[in-house]
Structure 1
């Protein structure tokens, strides 16, 4: 019974936070306001989430997993980790950036370097699978360097796009974001272009509009 109550409280915090983040943005949605709207004492939130960024991390992790499962259940392939990640990345950012309020919240988190890690998703296992499938002799140091490099490049691309400094269409940005992994792994450009075409076909054929980032 105690476990069930704790689970319900945690889910209620997430539900309320998502609604507030969507309507008010990241900065104005203080922990105090989240607690008030969730009808719980302020001191109870740190029991479930150490900081507001941990709430963001939970929301983002669940969102990424939903997108990943959506693609995984519809992509008729057994082994191709990068193609799957390419499509997941494109849908993930399309759902966030094509919605004005999602994009506003996302940008607020982007501006703070430490907060941005709350919007990262764990891809280390996927990266190791990519290295294996492309027969790349990469060790942990190589994987770590790729992850850090992609993290920084992705943040700068997204910041400049949200601030209007790039002047590119969303589809162009999605291609650049999704192809970053392949470029850093040294995957042939023709293969990456083919994956992009497959990604565009997949996104046209499957309706994923029901998947929500915040609300």
Structure 2
């Protein structure tokens, strides 16, 4: 293939990505605000013995919901009030915040995939009936894309792969090292935090163009 044909092919591929990706496929993007996942033991420590979280609204991922209950997150320099709990209860408690939130708390949590809390930052969670000090569990969540196996086949990506996503907005930016998570329990959606949403001028929801790469990621269940 001569240089002219190579350049023509490159321009065609870039044009496809610019106008919605190959096959016209785009990624829905959701801004995930600060939130808490609690173990059942910690639910009871904060709200009382035998307490069960109250369903407020379904989330986009099947089986997940926003609870009516909120808590206070406390650090050495300040607090974050009315932080929403997401249900159902998990095996381990975890708090996900933005970098801006971390400055207010006076803490330095690592950037991690949700569920990867080993060695992460300590934090205190305060409820109406008590408080819990987590020796680890505070993280800044790494952006990622939930996909079904059918979605992964359509986008020609696989579980654990890292890709780029170009946000379609008034301030288009490209996120790199976005991790693909594939499960038949998922619904197609990319999750970013509020700092990332503000940078791209997305308040709650948007969409982006997936740009494949072959960079492996690290998946933590």
Shared fold by TM > 0.5?
no
Normalised by the size of structure 2, how large is the TM-score?
0.25
Normalised by the size of structure 1, how large is the TM-score?
0.25
Q: Which has the higher contact order (CA 8 A, sep 6+)?
A: 1
Q: Which has the higher helix share?
A: 1
Which structure has the bigger radius of gyration?
A: 2
